[in-house]
Structure 1
Amino acid sequence: MPQFLRRFLPLLSAVLVLAVLAPAAARAEALETPAREAILIDLSTHTVLFEKNSDELMTPSSMTKLMTIYILFEKLAKGAIKMEDTLPVSERAWRMAGSKMFVKVGERVAVSDLIRGIIVQSGNDACVVVAEGLASTEEAFAAQMTAKGKELGLKSSTFKNASGWPDPDHRMTARDLSVLAEHLIEDFPQYYPLFSETSFRYNNINQQNRDPLLTSFPGADGLKTGHTEDGGYGLVGSAKRDGRRLLLVINGLNSMKERAQESARIMDWGFREFQTYTMAKKGEALADAKVWQGEEDSVPLTVAADAQVTLRRVDRAAMVVKVVYDGPIPAPIAAGQQIASLEITAPNMPVISVPLVAAKEVPRQGVIGRIFGSFRYLLSGDAS
């Protein structure tokens, strides 16, 4: 655009309302829970459906073991260790109290058994075997856990051991646990089904998985429970229904029964009250943006990938969808170039902004065309 024309052609804010619907007549009641910390996330759109003290430091108890498993899965995926490999049991591991896999001092245990001993049986002894086998000492392994947590985006987690054994400096947040759980689900789909195993037998001792959702909540497939006197009863759980996956972290409950009831109740609330809606499909023309000095007067807008939003069903009727851009858009415009945004608003949710791109290329006009276009604008104010 010629410099002298810029004072005649300020960028205009163009807003096209695609959908404005009447406000909903009813409101869903806010969720309350006796859990001290909680967070519920729809992983299909990474929407937080509910949270309570989700960034407060807390005792993660045996939910810590998810990080031990993550490091073990990562080494398996990279080929640094194999399922059939065995790790030695030290006296320190054998003497570990609390929940146990019941390994024997001096024996070697297959990695495949240790994984199940940690996930299903919540074995503190199995965690020490893994920590010492992979890092020589549990202290060194805990340092690796903290470093890996920072790498994965855990902003507030400090690990002092591999099992979640009580330590005043061993802390996580509910949000960090949700981030870790999502990584386990997304990064290791080949191993994730291990979290849905309901029992495991080792050394002639059969133990049941402590996750209450696995046997009572349709669609549940993991991940881990935890309990200490300081932390209370907690759970990191996930369930999938009709293509939607919800992830729940709760902690600070008073009993196993309360943990089972609350985890199922909150999960059910999330599936019942919320729905994921497709707002735009990839390649679908949503609107046209005006073009300045292009071979065409406008360019169709689309999304680079399907745009979805998760919100309460009762808020669907109050949703507003807008196309927003500063225009007209100066040519040339490349296909796929981001030139606008799709803004979605609804009650009780932050504004969601989805990038919109040009659905086709629009070359710049030749010199003569640009001159005539400039004079046309000066005479009529029409920038097209």
Structure 2
Amino acid sequence: MKRRLNGLTLTLLASLSFSVFAAPIAIPNPPSLSAKGYVLLDYHSGEVIAEHNPHTQLKPASLTKLMTSYTAGQELNRGNIAKTDQVTISREAWARNFPDSSKMFIEVGNTVEFSDLLRGLIVQSGNDASVAIAEHVAGSQAAFVDLMNNWARRLQLNDTYFANPHGLDDPNQATTAYDMAKLGQALIRDVPTLFPLYSETSFTYNGITQHNRNALLRDRSMNVDGMKTGYTQGAGYSLVSTATQGDMRLISVVMGTSSPNVRTTESKSLLNYGFRFFETIQPHEVGAEVTETRIWMGEENQVSLGIAEDVYMSVRRGSGNNIRAEVDLPSTLKAPIAQGETLGSVNYIDENNQVLKTVPLVALNDVEQGGFFKRIFDYIRLMFI
């Protein structure tokens, strides 16, 4: 049985006017980028706005350090390590092991605070810092790489495999633009204490100041607050970037371009496209009543229905006014009903009657089974419906 939202629900959806007769809104194709692969992802909804070769495996280069910091961040979350830990630098983490690549300039035998290693990893893109972090977190690079790949599986980065913590080319190391976008989303969501480091524009260690290679952090025309550049000869120039505009956050991944300037301009073009032509809407919040429905054989005759998680959607800018919501429920629901039990679904439908998203409807309260006479009375009434 389909039910349209009642007046109370429409009030909850004040951001959507449900005007079915509004004219369709035209939208141009995404910009054509000179990249091997790219993805533009809406952070809140997780929906892809634009893509090219999103699942083609490519070399990650220093984008790998997103997973290095994510893995370290999860260990910080669990209390297994602390930012104040003092880390003794091993010969494997010595800066001299990386003569032709980015480094923090740490020296063998020196003691470095873990928080400084994190900045050396994120701001300076230090390959030496990557090794030092890996060894401190897991005891060895190999054990840390196992953790990285375990997290990749848990995050369903299905086309990604890591072979080292720094991203230097390895024949067994690969990722995709889509997986990097999902990793960026997970890093912002799951390790918020580390994410602010990605907006820092410089870091000084051992008397050497290095600037963040993400040039978009210095672009005043956009509110970019992360994330990570990458380059090797085999990978080309890549950039994962994220920016906000109002309540909307986008994550852009551009991989395999020909120069630092190209990866910057292409990323900016992609972000501008998303903000110009799309918006993020939140038609319902968790715990808010979407509708209520009749319950038979219960102590109460009605149960409130809502959603278990916040709903976000990526839609063409201005088209939120054309979206309507309909709920699907069984024709007969009987007590007992437990709070959180899935009883139906709500469909969000555009002006072309296309279902954009379907989410479960759950009971917002318990309904206990009614007494003997209440059940008999409802049973008789059901016979005539």
TM-score by length of 2: 0.83
CA deviation profile, 1:101-132 (whole Å, cap 9, x unmatched) = 23334544332322222211112222233334
Distance in 2 (alpha carbons) for counterparts of 1:280 and 1:55: 31
- 2:277 is matched with 273
- Structure 2 residues without counterparts, runs of 5 or longer: 7-17
Q: Does 1:351 align with 2:356?
A: yes
Identity of aligned residues (%): 35
Q: How big is the shift at 1:140?
A: 4.2
- 1:16 is matched with 4
Give the partner amino acid of 2:127.
N
The equivalent position to 2:266 in structure 1, one of 254, 262, 269, is: 262
Relative to 1, partners in 2 of residues 1:253 and 1:375: Cα closer, same or farther, differing over 3 Å? same
CA contact (8 A) 1:27 1:314 kept: no
Q: Does 1:129 align with 2:132?
A: yes
CA deviation profile, 1:207-238 (whole Å, cap 9, x unmatched) = 11001221115322111100122222111122
Q: How big is the shift at 1:91?
A: 6.3
Relative to 1, partners in 2 of residues 1:306 and 1:106: Cα closer, same or farther, differing over 3 Å? closer
| Counterpart secondary structure, 2:329 | strand
Relative to 1, partners in 2 of residues 1:330 and 1:121: Cα closer, same or farther, differing over 3 Å? same
1:365-376 pair list within 5 angstroms: 366-368=371-373, 370-371=375-376, 373-376=378-381
- 1:26 is matched with 25
CA contact (8 A) 1:87 1:130 kept: no
- 1:342 is matched with 346
| Counterpart secondary structure, 2:281 | strand
Distance in 2 (alpha carbons) for counterparts of 1:283 and 1:105: 54
The equivalent position to 2:187 in structure 1, one of 181, 184, 188, is: 184
Q: How big is the shift at 1:345?
A: 2.3
Give the partner amino acid of 1:354.
V
Distance in 2 (alpha carbons) for counterparts of 1:31 and 1:158: 29
1:1-384 pair list within 5 angstroms: 13-16=1-4, 19=18, 21-22=20-21, 24-34=23-33, 35-77=35-77, 78-90=79-91, 93=94, 94-96=96-98, 97-135=100-138, 137-216=140-219, 218-282=222-286, 284-294=288-298, 298-304=302-308, 306-334=310-338, 336-346=340-350, 351-359=356-364, 362=367, 364=369, 366-368=371-373, 370-371=375-376, 373-378=378-383, 381-382=384-385
Distance in 2 (alpha carbons) for counterparts of 1:164 and 1:211: 17
CA contact (8 A) 2:291 2:305 kept: yes
Give the partner amino acid of 1:14.
K
Q: How big is the shift at 1:342?
A: 1.1
Q: How big is the shift at 1:21?
A: 1.0
Give the partner amino acid of 1:161.
N
Distance in 2 (alpha carbons) for counterparts of 1:185 and 1:95: 31
CA deviation profile, 1:301-350 (whole Å, cap 9, x unmatched) = 33455544331124334423111111121234445543221111236986
**CA RMSD across the alignment:** 3.0
Distance in 1 (alpha carbons) for counterparts of 2:282 and 2:137: 45
Distance in 2 (alpha carbons) for counterparts of 1:286 and 1:137: 51
- Give the number of aligned pairs: 368
Q: How big is the shift at 1:64?
A: 0.6
Q: How big is the shift at 1:370?
A: 4.6
Give the partner amino acid of 2:345.
S
- Structure 1 residues without counterparts, runs of 5 or longer: 1-12
| Counterpart secondary structure, 2:282 | strand
Relative to 1, partners in 2 of residues 1:213 and 1:371: Cα closer, same or farther, differing over 3 Å? same
Distance in 1 (alpha carbons) for counterparts of 2:40 and 2:353: 15
CA contact (8 A) 1:89 1:108 kept: no
Greater shift in the superposed pair: 310-319 or 207-216: 310-319
CA contact (8 A) 2:226 2:241 kept: yes
Higher gyration radius (CA): 1
Distance in 2 (alpha carbons) for counterparts of 1:277 and 1:349: 17
